[in-house]
Amino acid sequence: MDIIASSHSQSEYSDILIAVKEIKKAIIESRYQLAKLVNKQAITLYYNIDEYVSYRSRKGHWGTGAIKTISILLRQELPGLKGFSETSIKDMRIFFEQWQSIFENRQSVTADLESSLVPVGEFVINRQLTTADLTAEQLELFFTVPFTHHREILRRTSTLNERMFYIGKCATEFWQVPKLKYALTEGLYDKEKIQLTNFPQIIPEDKLRIKALEAFKNNYLFDFVDLEDDSDILDERVLETQIVKNIKNFIMAFGQDFAFMGNQYRLTVDEEDLFVDLLFYHRGLRCLVAVELKSGKFKGAYAGQLNTYLSALDDLVRRPDENPSIGLILCKEKSDKMVEYAFRNTTTPMGVATYTLTSKLPKQYSEALPNPDDLAKLL
C-alpha cells in the first residue's frame, strides 16, 4: 500500500481512495440488487410452474406418480438441476395454492390450461405477480425472501399477518433458515405483537407502522418484581418502584432498542403538571415511548389520559427530526371491545398490553389444580 501511495501525490491518492470506496459501494449495491432480482424471478417461476402443476394434478389430468416422473425427467433433460425434486415440486404446489387467493387478481391462465397442447413456457415466462392485498413494501419483502424460507413459513403459519411478520423479519434482519425455524417454534409472532393498537389507522408510513407493531409484545413477564404482600399489587406506585429498581431487567423484558428516560416524567401544560409513569426512547422507531402502568383492568378513560400525554410530549419534548410519540398502557387484564371503542377516535398512536407477575399462579394453572381444602381431605 505504501508503494502505491508513493506513486501519487497526497491529494491525488485521497481522491483515489474516495473513488475506490464509491466503486466498492456501487458493486456491493449492484450485487444486492442482482440477488434480489434473481430471487424475485425464482419465486415467480416457482409460483407459475406450480400453478400449472396444481391445475393438472388436482383436476385429475394426471395420476399418482406424475410429479415424481416430472422430477426425474427434468433432471435428465437438465443435468445438475437443483431444487426440482419430487418433494420440492410438491412444496412449490403448496406455495402456489397458499398464496393463490392473494395473487388471484392477476390475469388467469385457466383458459390457457384448457388445452394440453399449450407449452408450459407460454404462460410461465413474463407473468409477473401483482396484488392489491399487499403494500408495495410488503410485496418487495415477499420477493426478497428465498423459497426455502417461504416453505418453512407456510408449514408453520396460517394467517396473512403472521406470514408477513416472518417474511419481514427474514428480509430485513437477514435471517437464516435455522433462526427462522427457532422463531417459528417459539411463536415469536404471538409474543411480539400487541393484539390491540390503533397503529394501522394512526401511523401512515408502512415501514414505521410495521416496526411499531414489531417493537411491542402482547404480554410482558415481570418475574423480577418482588412483592411481599399480594395487596401491594393494588398500588401502582409499588409496581413502578419495583420496575425502576430493576430497570435493566425491565428493559430486557420490554425489548431491545429502548432507552430509559425517567419515571414520573413531568410535563407542564398551562401551569398544570402531568406525570408520565415511565418514559423511554426507542432508537429503531426514533420516537418517545410513554408507558402508563395500571394495576387492574383496562378502562376507557386511560386512552384519553394517554392521548393527552402523547400530545404534550410531541409539543414539548419531541425533537424536529423524531417521529410522533407512541404510548403503551400496561394493565393486568383488558376487554378487547373496550379497547377498540376507547381507541376509535384517538389521534395519537397507542396500544394496550398485559403483564404477568410470578407472585401469583396464572389463572389457567390455578384452575387446573385441586383446591387446597379438597387436597387436604384427599390426603
Q: What is the pLDDT along the chain (379 residues), one digit of tens a residue?
A: 555 656 667 777 787 788 888 888 777 777 767 777 888 888 888 888 878 888 888 876 787 888 899 889 988 888 888 888 999 989 988 998 998 888 865 444 433 333 333 344 444 434 566 666 777 778 888 988 999 999 999 999 988 888 988 998 888 778 899 989 988 987 877 765 665 788 878 888 877 887 887 788 777 877 777 665 544 455 777 788 888 888 888 887 777 789 999 999 999 999 999 999 999 999 989 999 999 999 889 999 999 999 999 999 999 999 999 999 999 999 988 888 899 899 988 889 999 988 887 544 444 434 444 454 544 444 3
Which residues touch 99 (CB under 8 Å, ≥6 apart)? 47
Query: C-alpha distances in angstroms, 159 versus 14, 46, 99, 162?
Result: 54, 21, 11, 5
Q: Of 139, 166, 125, 147, give the one whose Cα is nearest residue 39.
A: 147
Q: Can you give the pLDDT at residue 243?
A: 85
pLDDT at 125: 39
**How much is the pLDDT for 344?**
86
Among residues 198, 212, 192, the alpha carbon closest in space to that of 253 is found at 192
From the centroid of its chain, how far is CA 307?
25
**pTM of the entire predicted model:** 0.49
Residue 80: predicted pLDDT: 85
Q: Which one-letter DSSP state was computed for residue 131? A: -
Give the separation between CA 365 and CA 157, rounded to whole angstroms: 27
Residue 193 one-letter amino acid? K
62-68-70-71 Cα dihedral, nearest 10 degrees: 160
HSE-CB for 169 with a 13 A CA cutoff: 23
**Cα 88-89-93 angle, rounded to 5 deg:** 115
Helices assigned H by DSSP within the chain: 2-6, 10-58, 66-77, 86-103, 110-113, 120-124, 136-144, 147-156, 160-173, 177-186, 188-192, 199-202, 206-215, 236-245, 247-254, 300-316, 336-343, 363-366, 372-378
